[in-house]
Chains A and B, each alone.
Chain A
Amino acid sequence: MSTRNTGAGSEQTDMGEQAETDERPAPDGRVQADGRAETDERPAPDGRVQADGRAETDERAETDEQAETDGRAETDGRADAVGAVATRTVEPSGIDVGPDEPEETGEFVGATRVEGIAVATSTGWAGTETAGALAGATERWIGTGGVQLCVAELGDRAQPTVVLVHGFPDSKEVWSEVAKRLADRFHVVLYDLRGCGQSSAPKPLRGGYTLEKLTDDFLAVADAVSPDRPVHLVGHDWGSVQGWEFATVKRTEGRIASFTTMSGPCLDHLGMWLRKRAVRPTPRRVGQLFGQGIKSWYVYAFHTPVLPEAMWRGPLAKAWPKLLERVEKTPGRGEPGGDYPTPSLPTDGAHGVWMYRDNVRSRLRRPRTDAYAHVPVQLIHPTGDIFVSEQVFDELELWAPQLTRRSLAAKHWAPRTRPDQISAWIAEFVTTVDEGAAPKEPRATSPYAARFGGQLVLVTGAASGIGRATAFAFAEAGARVVAVDRDTEGAARTAEMARLIGAPQAWGETVDVSDEQAMDKLAHKVAAEYGVVDVLVNNAGIGVSGAFMDTSSEDWQRVLDVNLWGVIHGCRTFGKQMAERGQGGHIVNTASAAAFQPTRMLPAYATSKAAVLMLSECLRAELACKDIGVSAICPGIVNTNITTTTRFVGVDQQEEQRRRTRSTRLYGKRNYPPEKVADAILRAVVRNQAVVPVTPEARGAHLMSRFTPKALRALARLDPKM
Chain B
Amino acid sequence: MTTTVDDRLSVRTGGLPPELRGFREVQRLSYECAEAVAAQLRPGVTEREAARMQREWLRERGVRDWFHLPFAWFGDRTAFTNFRIPLQFFPTNRKLEPGMPFILDMAPVYQGYTADIGYSGCLGPSPLHDKLLADLEAHRDLLLREVRERRSLREIYEDVERLMVRQGYANRHRAYPFGVIAHKVDRVKERRWSPTAFGFGTQSLKGLASDALHGHREGWSPLWSPYRFSDHPPQPGLWAVEPHLGFRGMGAKFEEILVVTDSKDPEHSAFWLDNDLPHVRRWAEEKAA
Contact = CB atoms under 8 A, between A and B. Distances in A.
Interface of A: 464, 468, 472, 476, 490, 493-494, 497, 500-501, 641, 668, 673, 675
B228 to A, nearest CB: 10
Given A472-B168, A493-B168, A668-B226, 15 more contacts: A464-B165, A464-B166, A472-B248, A476-B248, A493-B166, A493-B167, A497-B131, A497-B168, A497-B247, A500-B127, A501-B128, A501-B247, A641-B165, A673-B170, A675-B248
B275 to A, nearest CB: 28
7 contacts: A468-B168, A476-B248, A500-B127, A500-B128, A500-B131, A501-B248, A641-B165
A640 B151 CA distance: 24
Nearest to B128: A500
Interface string B239-254: 0000000011000000
Most interface-central of A476, A500, A673, A675 (chain B CB within 10 A): A500
A493 B247 CA distance: 13
B261 to A, nearest CB: 30
* 9 smallest beta-carbon distances between A and B, as pairs: A500-B128, A497-B168, A500-B127, A493-B168, A500-B131, A468-B168, A501-B248, A501-B128, A472-B248
Interface residues of B, number: 11
A641 B168 CA distance: 12
A368 B127 CA distance: 45
Nearest to B170: A673
Contacts of A493: 166-168
A501 B131 CA distance: 11
B168 A494 contact: yes
Contacts of A494: 168
Contacts of B131: 497, 500
B251 to A, nearest CB: 14
Contacts of B168: 468, 472, 493-494, 497
Chain A binding site: helix, strand, loop or mixed by DSSP? Answer: helix
Interface of B: 127-128, 131, 165-168, 170, 226, 247-248
Contacts of B247: 497, 501
B166 A490 contact: yes
A468 B169 CA distance: 10
A671 to B, nearest CB: 9
A497 B135 CA distance: 12
Contacts of B166: 464, 490, 493
Contacts of B167: 493
A330 B131 CA distance: 46
Most interface-central of B165, B168, B226 (chain A CB within 10 A): B168
A371 B166 CA distance: 53
A621 B168 CA distance: 36
B120 to A, nearest CB: 16
A128 to B, nearest CB: 52
A266 B166 CA distance: 50
A468 B168 CA distance: 8
A672 to B, nearest CB: 13
Contacts of B165: 464, 641
A490 B165 CA distance: 10
A636 B131 CA distance: 32
A500 B132 CA distance: 11
A468 B166 CA distance: 10
A665 to B, nearest CB: 8
A696 B91 CA distance: 33
Nearest to A499: B127
Contacts of B170: 673
Contacts of A497: 131, 168, 247
Contacts of A675: 248
A572 B168 CA distance: 30
A455 to B, nearest CB: 19
Contacts of A490: 166
A500 B168 CA distance: 12
A497 B167 CA distance: 9
A476 B76 CA distance: 15
B34 to A, nearest CB: 25
A337 to B, nearest CB: 39
Contacts of A668: 226
B249 to A, nearest CB: 9
Contacts of B248: 472, 476, 501, 675
Nearest to B129: A500
B100 to A, nearest CB: 12
A500 B128 CA distance: 6
Contacts of B128: 500-501
Contacts of B226: 668
A668 B166 CA distance: 15
B162 to A, nearest CB: 8
B195 to A, nearest CB: 35
Contacts of B127: 500
A472 B249 CA distance: 12
Most interface-central of A464, A472, A497 (chain B CB within 10 A): A497
A464 B170 CA distance: 12
Nearest to B226: A668
Nearest to B250: A501
B244 to A, nearest CB: 16
Nearest to A640: B165
A641 B226 CA distance: 17
Nearest to B167: A493
